[in-house]
Amino acid sequence: MKQKLEALKIEALAKLQEVADPQALNDLRVKYLGKKGELTEVLRGMGGLSAEERPVIGQVVNDVRGAIEEIITAKQEAFQQQETQNRLQAEKVDVTLPGRSMAQGGIHPLTRVVQEIEDIFIGMGYRVAEGPEVETDYYNFEALNLPKNHPARDMQDSFYLTDDLLMRTQTSPVQIRTMQGMKGEAPVKIICPGKVFRRDDDDATHSFQFHQVEGLVIGRNIRMSDLKGTLQQFVQEMFGPHTGIRLRPSFFPFTEPSVEVDVSCFKCGGDGCRLCKQTGWLEILGAGMVHPKVLEMGGYDPAEFSGFAFGMGVERIAMLKYGIDDIRNFYNNDMSFVKQFKGV
Ligand SMILES: [Zn+2]
């Protein structure tokens, strides 16, 4: 029996020594030490031993068990260490690697100028109104005192989609829509920023699409002096406190009288420079008192109400303000151009 135990011990230790993973180790533990294990099997046979033999064999059994348990414990620890090592290796983070930076966007210069204009007029109690870019002939022309065959329609070569639908050539239709929506209520104080479209060949200063901001005020006793005061206030906030304005007679079908509004050059202060072509003035706005026919189309009685309107090109203002010499820069998505305005 003693020999059997020694053989068992040698076999068990050899197998345990070669064991490669925790599952195999556990299988061997059950094989030798389990309830139905080989060592237990030997112990069962001890009943047939003599009283002298029993303690001797008992001692051998304990030795064998001890040796097997010892190697199992050592193997378990080794496996655990290996596992920890593997996990640390897998979760390893190299804190010295450079970080990934998030690309931060900037606001497009046209959007920036529109927001600036909006802020100034909102500060004066205006609200922002918007309308569709595809318009009917009625809203784009007729209601603005431009009946069919009116010669001034030629000033605005248009993109017609059907006989009656076109890409709006100005943001003025929003003024008519707003007036009609007010159903004769006053005052009206709105600005209408938006994209407009004209059949034009693109070059450094022309584009088939551009942006306008128009303004409209309607109420009782609205006078030309109110228009002038409003625009004076606007240009001072937009271009600096020393900016002046100059009104020149002009013609628009939807205003009477009509004026072109020049602002004193904000670069040279009026002395004359390249930006203002040595005149000291920059042409920036068109304006006038709302034509009585337009008031009527909008649902207001010209005998009781009056109003003024003005409009400006956003691209022109942005070009003057930021010294941009080609309008196409705004649209061709050249990142090196757009990035210059980050944080301006
Ligand atoms: Zn100048």
**Spacing, Cα 286 to ligand 1 middle (Å):** 20
Q: What's residue 155's pLDDT?
A: 63
**Spacing, Cα 91 to ligand 1 middle (Å):** 64
**Spacing, Cα 28 to ligand 1 middle (Å):** 96
Q: What's residue 342's pLDDT?
A: 77
**Spacing, Cα 324 to ligand 1 middle (Å):** 15
**Spacing, Cα 60 to ligand 1 middle (Å):** 111
**Spacing, Cα 264 to ligand 1 middle (Å):** 8
Span 128-185, pLDDT tens digits: 999 999 999 999 999 999 988 887 776 668 899 998 999 999 999 999 999 999 999 9
**Spacing, Cα 237 to ligand 1 middle (Å):** 18
Residue boundaries of the structural domains of the chain: 2-89, 109-341
Q: Token pair for residue 123?
A: 């500060």
**Spacing, Cα 224 to ligand 1 middle (Å):** 27
Q: Which residues contact 145 (CB under 8 A, 6 or more apart)?
A: 253, 254, 291, 293, 294, 297
Query: Is domain 109-341 annotated with CATH 3.30.930.10?
Result: yes
**Spacing, Cα 275 to ligand 1 middle (Å):** 5
Q: Is 38 annotated as a binding residue?
A: no
Q: What's residue 196's pLDDT?
A: 96
Q: What's residue 230's pLDDT?
A: 97
**What is the SS3 string spanning the chain?**
CHHHHHHHHHHHHHHHHHCCCHHHHHHHHHHHHCCCCHHHHHHHHHHHCCCCHHHHHHHHHHHHHHHHHHHHHHHHHHHHHHHHHHHHHHCCCCCCCCCCCCCCCCCCHHHHHHHHHHHHHHHCCCEECCCCCEEEHHHHCHHHCCCCCCHHHHHCCCCECCCCEEECCCCHHHHHHHHHHHCCCCCEEEEEEEEEECCCCCCCCCCCEEEEEEEEEEECCCCHHHHHHHHHHHHHHHHCCCCCEEEEEEEECCEEEEEEEEEECCCCCCCCCCCCCCCCEEEEEEEEEECHHHHHHCCCCCCCCEEEEEEEEHHHHHHHHHCCCCHHHHCCCCHHHHHHHCCC
Query: Rounded CA gap, 90 and 87, in Å?
Result: 5
**Spacing, Cα 207 to ligand 1 middle (Å):** 25
Using 50 as the pLDDT threshold, list the residues of the chain that sit under it: none
Q: Token pair for residue 292?
A: 């009585």
Query: Rounded CA gap, 254 and 201, in Å?
Result: 26
Q: What's residue 302's pLDDT?
A: 97
Q: What's residue 319's pLDDT?
A: 92
**Spacing, Cα 234 to ligand 1 middle (Å):** 19
